[in-house]
Amino acid sequence: MSNEIIDGFFQAIYLIFTFDPEVWSVIAVSFRVSLTSTFLATLVALPIGSFIGLREFRGKRFISNLINTFMGFPPVVMGLIVFLLLSSSGLFGFLGLLYSTTAMIIAQFLLAVPIILGTGKAAIESVEPALKETVLSLGANERQLWWELIKDSKKSIIAGFLVTFGQAISEVGAVMIVGGNIRWSTRTFTTSIVLQTRMGEFGMAIALGIILITIAFILNYGMTRLQGSGK
Amino acid sequence: MVLLEVKNLTKDYYKKDGGVIPVLSDINFSIRKGETFAIIGPNGSGKTTLLRILGLLESPTQGEVQYRGRDVINLSRKHKTQYRRELSFVRQKPLVRDASVFDNIAFGLKVRGLKLKQYKNSVEDMIKRVGLSGMKNKSARSLSGGEMQRVVIAMNFIITPEIYLLDEVSANLDPVNVKILDNFINEIKQDKQKTIVLSTHDRYEAIRLADRIAVLNEGTIKQINTPSLIFQSPKDEFTAQFVGYENIFGGVASIDLKTHLNHVKINDLVITTSSQKEGKVKVCIHPESIIIAKNAPQNVSSLNLFKGKVEEVRDLGNLIHVVIRTNSEKFLVSITKLSQQKLEIKNGSEVYINFKATDVKIL
């Protein structure tokens, strides 16, 4: 057993440094799905989240609770929901998107939206009230104020983006269910690791694990750097 | 013309346990266009809250703020922005945006829709004027405290709004910046077009700048009047203790080239002072610095000697305040009960008052 693991480790290094095409396919799919979903979620949820943070209105507390609840939504359940919607008998079955990267992007997008909503809202709310007031008393309208606050909290917003991306790329359940783990097509780091481990192909599993951990390390390093340099 | 009117304004803060802290209660005043209105009061009297309400940074619990006869408290967002664009609000603590000096100073003009072409020159002039030449592209947040204060002054005075709200601005300024700020304020006061509402706890600042003063204590206005009336006859004990007594006159000063003494002409009275400030000035003389004599004193060193008539005698217990009219002006003089009895001072007595040129303070 222990020999297998050691063998696997050496095989992993071999796979990484010989640029194995299958490893590269997995990396490409993972990045494409996670980046696209995080990016789209930011595009949609950042303006809305920051707007919620900016304004005071009735029901704001309820909406905040709702966002917080969905931030911890179980990915597997999200996978199930998207699966049911996209399956041939589902509401959007006619689109024929099940077991495609688009389906994976949709699932991860839905998981990412609440997180970006929450971080956008928190980022705006954490701006010093005195800055808001200064900008307002200099004559800014609401849109101009919003832009100033976004600029002032850009570090928290970038950090939020990185966290969301990190969660997306290491997520298993949803992408497994809606993507189907198809080789060369919808296989990602995580689904691949699950499969290779089952098949006893530890080399490939360890190689992917090492890459995934390296990515996580780089993301965290980036975030610490961000937080270290001021806000 | 009344520009700003505050009616029955009340502000309460609510504590978590349901308790109420009244911050302002039943505030009423109106400010004319072109006027400099000072709100004077100790810390915690509600000055800042009052200015914040005028600047729409806080809303009152009750009451109205009218600008040109229209209530501004319940305006739509868009109209609130429009009203705010008629104001400049210089706050106690300097705070700049995370941008260059140039961007910070230009911000107020930029949000009002001006293009870079239109404001570039005036921003650069302003940077020179506040002594920040060469720092145009520096990050404003990297500046020293004093430099940051100048950015804040510049960004608020470049806007040229209708009303300037100044919240204890000179309290935290270093002397150089006080001068810069005074220059701006005097320039605004000169053409009498713009209105200034300022809060302060410094009575000399209020005397120097204000056309009228409102005395604020524990959230209520004790009195509103011109500086000379407030300081000569405070209506209540708080005002008397907090702002103190002072004879204040407005006049025009010119220095005699032979004697180097300064003569201030106040209506048909001329006061001599050793201070060297010329032009339109305010003159302050402490009631304690004035000496009363029954007969015209001879061979005294004091240069200011006037004949007058006692108009009022106020008994303050151990001290007596005597109001004496000379020509066009009234002087408040503080003497002891013993002196009053010795000199037999009562309403209608004819007396001489004199005080030293060095006891005359010029603001």
Per-residue model confidence as pLDDT tens digits over A141-161: 999 999 999 999 999 999 999
Q: Chain A window 132-171: which residues touch B at a Cβ cutoff of 8 Å?
A: 133-142, 144, 148, 151-152
pLDDT bucket at A2, cuts 50 / 70 / 90: low
Q: What is the DSSP letter of B188?
A: H
pLDDT bucket at A1, cuts 50 / 70 / 90: low
How much is the mean pLDDT over chain A? Answer: 91
The larger pLDDT score, comparing residue B2 to residue A204, is at B2
Q: Chain B window 306-325: which residues touch A at a Cβ cutoff of 8 Å?
A: none
B70 C-beta neighbours (distance < 10 Å), count: 12
B156 and A138: CB-CB below 8 Å?
yes
Find chain B residues with C-beta within 8 A of A130's C-beta.
Answer: 91, 93, 95
Q: Are A176 and A82 in contact (CB under 8 A)?
A: no
In the chain, the amino acid numbered A152 is: D
In the chain, the amino acid numbered B203 is: R
B95 and A152: CB-CB below 8 Å?
no
Nearest residue on chain A to B55, judged by CA atoms? A137
B55 and A152: CB-CB below 8 Å?
no
Distance between CA A206 and CA A196 in Å, rounded? 9
Check residue A229 and give its pLDDT. 63
Query: Across the strands, what pairs with B9?
Result: B27
Q: Is A121 exposed, middle or buried (0-12, 13-18, 19+ CB in 10 A)?
A: buried
The minimal CB distance from A137 to the residues B78, B84, B98 is found for: B84
The minimal CB distance from A133 to the residues B57, B78, B98 is found for: B57
Backbone angles phi, psi at B152, to 5 degrees: -65, -45
Q: How many domains does chain A have?
A: 1
| Spans of chain B below 50 pLDDT | none
Q: Tell me the count of A-B CB pairs closer than 8 A.
A: 50
Range of the structural domain that residue A203 is part of: 2-228
What CATH number has the domain spanning B247-362? 2.40.50.100
In the chain, the amino acid numbered A211 is: I
Distance between CA B54 and CA B327 in Å, rounded? 41
Q: Quick check: B159 contacting A, CB < 8 Å?
A: yes
Nearest residue on chain B to A153, judged by CA atoms? B98
Q: What angle is formed at CA B306 by the lines to CA B305 and CA B311, rounded to 5 degrees?
A: 140
pLDDT bucket at A200, cuts 50 / 70 / 90: confident
The minimal CB distance from B87 to the residues A137, A148, A152 is found for: A137
The alpha-carbon gap from B252 to the nearest alpha carbon of chain A, in Å, equals 37
Find chain A residues with C-beta within 8 A of B159's C-beta.
Answer: 138-139
A139 and B57: CB-CB below 8 Å?
no
> Is residue A30's pLDDT more than 50?
yes
The minimal CB distance from B57 to the residues A131, A137, A141 is found for: A137
Largest CA distance in chain B: 75
Check residue A231 and give its pLDDT. 43
What CATH number has the domain spanning B2-243? 3.40.50.300
Distance between CA B13 and CA B11 in Å, rounded? 7
Sequence-ordered list of residues with C-beta below 8 angstroms from that of B139, at least 6 positions apart, any chain = B98, B99, B100, B101
In the chain, the amino acid numbered A74 is: P
> Is residue A230's pLDDT more than 80?
no
Domain ranges across chain B: 2-243, 247-362
Q: Is B177 exposed, middle or buried (0-12, 13-18, 19+ CB in 10 A)?
A: buried
Q: Quick check: B155 contacting A, CB < 8 Å?
A: yes
- Per residue in A48-95, pLDDT (tens digit) is 999 999 998 999 999 999 999 999 899 999 999 999 999 988 899 899
> Is residue A29's pLDDT more than 90?
yes
CATH classification at residue A62: 1.10.3720.10
Check residue B300 and give its pLDDT. 82
Find chain B residues with C-beta within 8 A of A151's C-beta.
Answer: 98
Check residue B153 and give its pLDDT. 93
Q: What are the helix (H) ranges across chain A?
A: 2-17, 21-54, 60-71, 75-86, 101-125, 129-137, 142-152, 154-169, 173-179, 189-199, 202-228
Top residue of A54, A132, A134 to mutate, by most chain B CBs within 10 Å, is A134
pLDDT bucket at A18, cuts 50 / 70 / 90: confident
